[in-house]
Chains A and B, each alone.
Chain A
Amino acid sequence: MLAQIFAITGINIKSIPERWATSLVIVIGLAGVVAVFTALLAMANGFSSTLRATGRQDAVIMMRGGSDAELNSGLDREQTDLLKQMPGIRLGADGKPQSSAEMMVIAELIRKDDTKNGANITVRGVDPAAFALRPNLRIVNGRNFTPGLRELIVGAGVLRQFQGAEIGKVVRMRGSDWTVVGAFESGDAHDSELWTDINVARTTFGRTGSSSILAALDGADGLEKLKAGVAADPRLNVDVIRELDYFNAQTKQFRATIGFLAGIVTLIMALGAVFAALNSMYAAVAARGKEIATLRAIGFGGTPVLFSVMIEALLLALSGGILGALIAYVLFNNMSVSTLGQNFTQVVFNFKVTPALVIQGLIIAVVIGMVGGFLPALRAARLPVTTSLREQ
């Protein structure tokens, strides 16, 4: 049986060039479906992984109770000072708790390909401890800002997507001028931000306190100690969240939306591709009616014929799928885009075409190939031999 299948499949495949137009339809159709699917999910992937890379297991963000984003949170001076010293926070080499008060301010920059419409960018005022708490953040150009001066360092993502924040440029915020003195890279959501000294930010914008506190946990039970300490103090209505969990939660909305869109689009396209594949395979079977009938007449069984047609369909579908994945990879992988994050500021991220994604795309291609190949294969296997031999 296997030998028969191989033989017939061999004939089928060698004769594909005769039917190149119809076969091309399947390949291109599937390439389209897989390319669109891969591109959309690469976008979702890129956004998630940028946000998820931000944040450690052993650090926590503390915000005002009930805020779901740093933007909505605000802690006053007293609360800020209290929280920075809470038990459960790891002590640094200098004996001081490793915690950083951080303040969110919003600046406006113009996109690189635009002339008028600005987009909101996060400016983060930080304590000196912020750098130690984020070991993957490095200054790659220029220098760090000087505490006490209106200086900014700009993230790599901002430089990729927006203009007006290059080293040496002056950014205007609420009537004050700030100079960009350096650029940093951290491989996560912070690349979409501008950083400065929190004290200068406080005095310039007339604010005290902070938006949030970032702190390193002390040991395995650091989180409980911290939460207990916060709960015990009636002056503090504060949420304590692991940094990793906080950023994880921020991706949910975007993933859900894109996932939904990708699902619907892929479903409709896949249906279209199935119909196109059915069409092509029926045509293929019809074109070779005499051939198949001859094979049956000389003794090949019906089942090998069925398998051979299905294998032809699968091979065409798979090549289409691979082509589609390749197109998505070449065109979109690492393409930089930005969109609105939870704080109504921009998050810059790259499309990420992962092996897992490619495999998912190929599975879709295979399924479509099988569905599109089955009925025609059945018809081929059941062809009435004598009448087909006589056909034109």
Chain B
Amino acid sequence: MTKTGFVIANLFRKRTRTVLTLLSVIMAFLLFGLLQSVNSIFNAGQNFVGATRLMTQARVSFTQPLPISMVPKLEAIPGVARVGYSQWFGGVWQENTPVFAFAVDPLRQRDVYPEYSMPDAQWQAFANTRTAMIAGKVVADKYGWKVGQKIPLASNIYPQKNGSKAWAFDLVGIYDGTTEDTKKLAQNVFINHDYFDEANAFGKGRANFFILKLADGKQAEAISKTVDTMFENSPDETKTQTEKDFNLGFVKQVGDIGLIVRWILFAVFFTLLLVVGNTMAQSVRERIPELAVLKTLGFSDGAVLGFVFAEALALCLFGGLIGLVLATLAGAMVEKGSGGQFQLSPDLRVWLLGVTAILVMSIVVGLLPALRARRLRIVDALAGR
């Protein structure tokens, strides 16, 4: 009988109790994994290349468009390598499925977003065909779009000059990300801004966003200030921030999701602590005489403490790991089911948090019983006092 074997044998002494406690731990960590992933989605800025890109929008709200005539002024700022512009199209696929569609200048778009890749021929087709559109691989796969098809897309904001809100575009290219992270984000649709300008009924020459690609990311803050000062007190006041801050700001508007998640997890773990703690306490209480025998045989106080801690750790580790694995599986299923829209799968960071939580929990639930085991006096314990 090895020490590990001893710990495991003790765990399965009362099988039902151990199994049920294990199941409770699994449920708690399943929830932990899923909720922390939700939290990650809402709070992770886009770290890739984001630091070298600035987003300029109308100061008041990005729903207010700015004139494209601002582009040459923006490009003239030292440190700005290239400026792209983008207008929200309000795309709708089929009856009422929203699609992230933007009207952009094709070649500028390619320059400011180098992390997306598409064959050069397709970029050229995009630039040269008036009614062209390109789509991210994620969204193209989701709706089964193939290059060469004519895709009917409606806009819930812009009618064509003939009054109809139904538009149609030729899909000339599908772009994809170059890294794991960027691949997941390939879910936009881009159409030609020039065509959009001349065909829509509401006028031309405007964009919701200017995307400034910087030569040097370290100048981000200085250049943001320069841009905003340039347009201060004009009818088109701007707000410029890094792409990452823009995303964060947007999420903050949705609300403090992080707080809600933290509250829920707090409630869950508090209860779990009680459940597992109770199990451990009972388990040790029942075995006081046995632990006394161990001490008689020569195991030190510390060794006995170690046994109890090991038992607590085994319980929490086993349950916690299974729970996290289930969360990963569940998240992967959700991801597949929603065509990549909801990336709920716990990533490395969540796993690390989870393992830390397991360790902390083991220590907390094991502490009192372990101390009790350490302190017991052989004579009293054997006599049942």
List A residues at the B interface (Cβ < 8 Å): 21-22, 24-25, 28-29, 32, 35-36, 39-40, 65-68, 71-72, 74, 105-108, 114, 117-120, 173-175, 206, 237, 261, 264-265, 268-269, 271-273, 275-276, 278-280, 282-283, 337-340, 343-346
In the bound complex, CA of A107 to CA of B239 (Å)? 13
Q: 5 closest Cβ contacts across the A-B interface?
A: A272-B27, A106-B61, A279-B20, A275-B23, A339-B255
User: Provided the pairs A206-B235, A275-B20, A339-B255 are in contact, do residues A28 and B271 lie with their beta carbons within 8 angstroms?
Assistant: yes
B178 to chain A, nearest CB (A): 31
A385 to chain B, nearest CB (A): 21
Task: Decide if B312 is an interface residue (CB 8 Å cutoff).
Answer: no
A118 to chain B, nearest CB (A): 8
Which of the segments B114-122, B277-285, B295-303 contacts the partner chain? B277-285
Task: Decide if B335 is an interface residue (CB 8 Å cutoff).
Answer: no
User: Provided the pairs A173-B60, A275-B20 are in contact, do residues A72 and B157 lie with their beta carbons within 8 angstroms?
Assistant: yes
Contact residues in B for A279 (Cβ distance below 8 Å):
16-17, 20-21, 24, 275, 279
User: Provided the pairs A275-B23, A339-B254 are in contact, do residues A174 and B267 lie with their beta carbons within 8 angstroms?
Assistant: no
In the bound complex, CA of A66 to CA of B159 (Å)? 9
Contacts A120-B60, A279-B16 known; list 20 others, CB within 8 Å. A25-B274, A25-B275, A28-B271, A29-B274, A66-B154, A107-B60, A117-B252, A119-B252, A175-B233, A268-B27, A268-B31, A269-B268, A272-B27, A272-B268, A275-B23, A275-B24, A276-B24, A276-B271, A282-B16, A344-B253
Task: Decide if B191 is an interface residue (CB 8 Å cutoff).
Answer: no
Task: Decide if B237 is an interface residue (CB 8 Å cutoff).
Answer: yes
Task: Decide if B45 is an interface residue (CB 8 Å cutoff).
Answer: no
User: Provided the pairs A74-B202, A175-B233, A268-B27 are in contact, do residues A106 and B63 lie with their beta carbons within 8 angstroms?
Assistant: yes
Q: What string of 1s and 0s marks CB contacts (under 8 Å) between B46-75 and chain A?
A: 000000000000111111100000000000
A-B contact count (CB 8 A): 136
Contact residues in B for A117 (Cβ distance below 8 Å):
248-249, 252
In the bound complex, CA of A173 to CA of B59 (Å)? 9
Q: Which of B189-207 contact A (CB under 8 A)?
A: 202
User: Provided the pairs A279-B17, A340-B254 are in contact, do residues A174 and B249 lie with their beta carbons within 8 angstroms?
Assistant: no
| Residue total for B at the interface (Cβ-Cβ under 8 A) | 54
User: Interface centre among A65, A105, A120, by most B CB within 10 Å?
Assistant: A120
A268–B30 contact, CB under 8 A? Answer: yes
Contact residues in A for B61 (Cβ distance below 8 Å):
106, 108, 120, 344-345
A24–B274 contact, CB under 8 A? Answer: yes
Contact residues in B for A35 (Cβ distance below 8 Å):
267
Contact residues in B for A106 (Cβ distance below 8 Å):
60-61, 63-64
In the bound complex, CA of A273 to CA of B27 (Å)? 9
B235–A32 contact, CB under 8 A? Answer: no
15 A-B contacts (beta carbon < 8 Å) = A21-B281, A36-B264, A36-B267, A40-B260, A66-B156, A108-B60, A120-B60, A271-B23, A272-B24, A272-B27, A275-B21, A276-B275, A279-B275, A282-B16, A344-B61
Task: Decide if B234 is an interface residue (CB 8 Å cutoff).
Answer: yes
Contact residues in B for A237 (Cβ distance below 8 Å):
159, 163
B214 to chain A, nearest CB (A): 21
A72–B275 contact, CB under 8 A? Answer: no
Contact residues in B for A28 (Cβ distance below 8 Å):
270-271, 274
B156–A174 contact, CB under 8 A? Answer: no
User: Provided the pairs A22-B278, A276-B24 are in contact, do residues A71 and B156 lie with their beta carbons within 8 angstroms?
Assistant: no
Contact residues in A for B255 (Cβ distance below 8 Å):
337-340
Q: What string of 1s and 0s marks CB contacts (under 8 Å) between B244-273 and chain A?
A: 000011001111100010011001101110
Q: Which of B23-48 contact A (CB under 8 A)?
A: 23-24, 27-28, 30-31, 34-35, 38
Contact residues in A for B281 (Cβ distance below 8 Å):
21
Contact residues in A for B217 (Cβ distance below 8 Å):
none
For A372, give the chain B residue with the smallest CB separation.
Answer: B20
Contact residues in A for B202 (Cβ distance below 8 Å):
74
A340–B253 contact, CB under 8 A? Answer: yes
User: Provided the pairs A108-B59, A271-B27 are in contact, do residues A283 and B264 lie with their beta carbons within 8 angstroms?
Assistant: no
B31–A269 contact, CB under 8 A? Answer: yes
List B residues at the A interface (Cβ < 8 Å): 16-17, 20-21, 23-24, 27-28, 30-31, 34-35, 38, 58-64, 90, 154, 156-157, 159, 163, 165, 202, 233-237, 248-249, 252-256, 260, 263-264, 267-268, 270-272, 274-275, 278-279, 281-282
Pick from A24, A40, A72, A269: contact of B90, CB under 8 Å: A72
For A337, give the chain B residue with the smallest CB separation.
Answer: B255
A21–B278 contact, CB under 8 A? Answer: yes
In the bound complex, CA of A24 to CA of B267 (Å)? 15
User: Interface centre among A21, A106, A275, by most B CB within 10 Å?
Assistant: A275
For B249, give the chain A residue with the smallest CB separation.
Answer: A117
Contact residues in A for B248 (Cβ distance below 8 Å):
117
B60–A66 contact, CB under 8 A? Answer: no
Pick from B236, B253, B275: contact of A119, CB under 8 Å: B253
Contact residues in B for A276 (Cβ distance below 8 Å):
20, 24, 271, 275
B276 to chain A, nearest CB (A): 9
For B269, give the chain A residue with the smallest CB separation.
Answer: A32
A1 to chain B, nearest CB (A): 29
User: Interface centre among B31, B154, B236, B271, by most A CB within 10 Å?
Assistant: B271
In the bound complex, CA of A32 to CA of B31 (Å)? 13
In the bound complex, CA of A24 to CA of B23 (Å)? 19
For B24, give the chain A residue with the smallest CB separation.
Answer: A275
In the bound complex, CA of A36 to CA of B24 (Å)? 17
Contact residues in A for B17 (Cβ distance below 8 Å):
279, 282-283
For B256, give the chain A residue with the smallest CB separation.
Answer: A337
B35–A265 contact, CB under 8 A? Answer: yes
B156–A72 contact, CB under 8 A? Answer: yes
Contact residues in B for A269 (Cβ distance below 8 Å):
27, 31, 268
For A104, give the chain B residue with the smallest CB separation.
Answer: B63
Contact residues in B for A74 (Cβ distance below 8 Å):
202
In the bound complex, CA of A188 to CA of B58 (Å)? 29
B253–A67 contact, CB under 8 A? Answer: no
Contact residues in B for A275 (Cβ distance below 8 Å):
20-21, 23-24, 27
In the bound complex, CA of A29 to CA of B25 (Å)? 13
Contact residues in A for B235 (Cβ distance below 8 Å):
174-175, 206
Contact residues in B for A108 (Cβ distance below 8 Å):
59-61
Contact residues in A for B16 (Cβ distance below 8 Å):
279, 282
User: Provided the pairs A68-B156, A282-B17 are in contact, do residues A264 and B34 lie with their beta carbons within 8 angstroms?
Assistant: yes
Contact residues in A for B275 (Cβ distance below 8 Å):
25, 29, 276, 279
Contact residues in B for A66 (Cβ distance below 8 Å):
154, 156, 159, 165
In the bound complex, CA of A280 to CA of B274 (Å)? 11
A272–B249 contact, CB under 8 A? Answer: no
In the bound complex, CA of A21 to CA of B278 (Å)? 7
In the bound complex, CA of A275 to CA of B28 (Å)? 11
User: Provided the pairs A264-B34, A276-B271 are in contact, do residues A25 and B156 lie with their beta carbons within 8 angstroms?
Assistant: no
B28–A272 contact, CB under 8 A? Answer: yes
B237–A174 contact, CB under 8 A? Answer: yes
A321 to chain B, nearest CB (A): 14
